[in-house]
Structures are given as structure tokens and as C-alpha cells.
Amino acid sequence: MSPRLTTLPNGLRVVSETMPQVKTVSVGVWVDAGARDETPEINGVAHMLEHMAFKGTERRNARAIAEEIEAVGGHLNAFTSREQTAYYARVMQNDMPLALDMLADILQHSTFDPEEMEREREVIIQEIGQAEDTPDDIIFDHLQEQAYPGQALGRPILGSIERVENMRREDLQGFLDRHYHAPNLVVAAAGAVEHDALVDLAASHFGNLPTTPRRANDAASYAGGEAREERDLEQAHVAFALPALPFNDPDFYAMQVYATVLGGGMSSRLFQEVREKRGLAYSVYAYPTSYRDTGLLTIYAGTGGEKLPELMPVLADEMEKLCHHIDADETMRARNQLKVGLVMSLESSGARLEQLGRQMLVYGRMLDIDEILAAVEQVDEAALRRVAERIMRSAKPALAALGPISRLEAYDRFAARFG
């Protein structure tokens, strides 16, 4: 069935899609605020707020929150990104009222108990430490900082240990009070859901939220540059990025196909040339990231330090080749990869829920699956060459490297291959 949308008088949007073949429902609240909405002093507050929402309300303590949802066999979780925060649950159809009641409770009546906050502070510090100890994870934070230095978009979602140690209850409450307003929220559900019942529940639980819309973020300003860290590791981890396209760019879907051709699977240019033909890396891939007003095209490779002198020119060379020639067969393969992957993912109510929430925040409307598939199908070789040129000639790259990287070529020499 087609998705349905209702906007409540306070500006809260309620969207649902019924999936007749399933007996469970995935329901969530998507918030149009994330790490990009933080000031430097409270970097990490959106993520800490997401954690603390589950640590007790005026009606439920942390244990009760966990026990109530698991007593009905349900699942409750959340995540924070740079531009959004999401809280969601998956339950049986008859338990949707409980799930929405719990989501409303944790988002509007959390107490941010000082003792719970101290415990969770330590948990998040351990999470930051774990990320720092995971080279193929933390390298992307270093890369983001080089792409957008001195900006909220370039700061880590988790924040720093120092910022987390100094986070106050007032910081959490202040962020919530500024951003968790009705026009900035989407209540979404997918699966065994009846839209009118969802609307009634949303109105009952979220009808008193403030009606002030979100303030626009400062425009992102890409810079580029490098971050290198020599570590005693078995592998060198290298990632670089170039400016790419925001969500609303006409070439958005062409960029998705381009990234797939370049490094999106085993038949991609990078996998075939770097791993299969030359044996230069075990892991190599490319992927696009889009934001409201900007984007990045990122390439990552994990390899032995002795391979770096040969590897880096090959990565740049494969991007250069895509500016000049793409054949119809690889375009078709990439289009089909994207289309089938999308269709398969939407057989899950959880994936469909995420699509609904994200699309409403990004586009202000729901995109029909056939509309997306048609847009992907229209991408041809000319569009891919155009996107390749836009990305390859855009600017100097942001570069991050970690591990045994003494043989990595100078940044200026690598950057000269772009722009």
C-alpha cells in the first residue's frame, strides 16, 4: 500500500506505510537535529542525549524501560547521525500503543538523573576509546575533520573525551528544548499499522510539543587537507574524499551509480584493478555521503605499508579514467545493484521505517519506490561522466592515513592529481 501522511496542527508530521504481509510494526520518531547542530563546547551532546533518553523518565526508571518493551518481545533502540537522531521500536501489531507511549515518554519526560548520567558518561568514554582503537573506524572521523575543519559538520558524533567529561545535565536539556519541537519531528511507522490509529496516538502523545521550526544550519564549507598518524599496526589505513552532491542535487542518483561503478562491489573498477589485478589491498571501496547542502565521495583502502607508493596513484587513476570512459555493461550492472538492493531492503519494516523518517526530514515528502527506481534507471554513461568530472575536478582532496604510512607520498603530490 502507498504511504500516508498527516500533519498535526502543531506541525508534527505522521507518516505510515502498511505492509499487509507482516504481523509486526516498526515505529519511530525521527528528529531533524544531530551533531551538526552542536556548538564546539557541547560537541557530543546529541549522542549523549540519545543515550540518556533510555536512562529514566518521570514514570519509568532505566530498568522498567528495558523490561516493559522486552516483556512484549519488542526491541527499542536509537542512533545519532550528523543531521538526524532517531528513536525506534519494533513490536507486534497490538503493542504499537505501548511502543509509542514509551517513545513519547523518553523524548519528553526524561529526568537525566545525575547518577545515571555519570554511569553513561563512562560508557560513552569507553565507546570513544573503542573507536580510537579501531583504525578502519576512527579514520573516517579524521577524514571528516579535514573536509570540514572548524565546523560542526567536521566534528565527531561521539564528541571528545574532554567534552563528554564536562557535559552537564543542563546541556542535554537545553539541546532537547531547542530542537525537539513538533515541526522538527516525524512520527513514522511501517508494517502492520493502521494510519488513523497512529495519528490518534501521535496527537495524544505529542500534541503539546512546541511549534517553533528548526533554525537553518550555517552553510558547509569544504576545505580539504590531510591528517597522518603513524601507528604500529599490521595494515596502513588510507581514506580520501572529494566534495560531492547534496540530497537535492539533480545528479544525486547518478552519483549513487557512479560510486557503485567506482567501488561499490566485486565488479567495481577499484575492486577489480586494486585487489583482483594488482593485489594491492585486501579491502577497497568507495561510497557517497550526502547532507542538506553538501556531500562527500569517499574512497578507503586497507593495505600493507609497502604497497602505498603503488596504491595511491592507482586509486586516483581509476577516478580519472571514469571521467573519460564508462561502458554500458558496467552502467547496467551498477544500476541493477542499486535497484535490487533497494527493493530487497524495503522488504523489512525496519528499513522502510528508516526510509520514511529520513525522506520526510530531507525532502519534506515521501518518495515512491517506483520514482526512485525510475530515477536510477535513467542514469546513463553521459550522466556518469558528468558526475565523475564534477567530483574529480571539484577541489583538492581531504586525506586521512593511519598505521605504517612512512611510504605514503606527500600530500601535495597526491592532491595534484585532482582539481
Tell me the torsion sign for CA atoms 192, 197, 203, 204.
Answer: negative
Q: Which of 50, 68, 83, 116 is catalytic?
A: 50
d(CA 90, CA 384): 39
Which runs of consecutive H residues, i.e. helices, occur in 222-327? 252-263, 269-270, 308-322
The b/e string for 137-149 (b: 16+ C-beta within 10 A; e otherwise) is ebbbbbbbbbbbb
Closest CA to 105 of 74, 62, 46, 44: 62
> How distant is the alpha carbon of residue 369 from its chain centre?
20
Q: Which of 17, 120, 145, 318 is catalytic?
A: 120
d(CA 415, CA 419): 8
Which set of grid coordinates corresponds to residue 295? 556531500
- Please, is 150 exposed, middle or buried when counting C-beta atoms within 10 Å of its C-beta (0-12, 13-18, 19+)? exposed
d(CA 39, CA 316): 35
The b/e string for 160-181 (b: 16+ C-beta within 10 A; e otherwise) is ebebbeebeeebbeebbeebbb
Closest CA to 252 of 378, 80, 370, 350: 378
229 tagged catalytic: no
Closest CA to 273 of 313, 237, 245: 313
120 tagged catalytic: yes
Catalytic residues, which ones? 50, 120
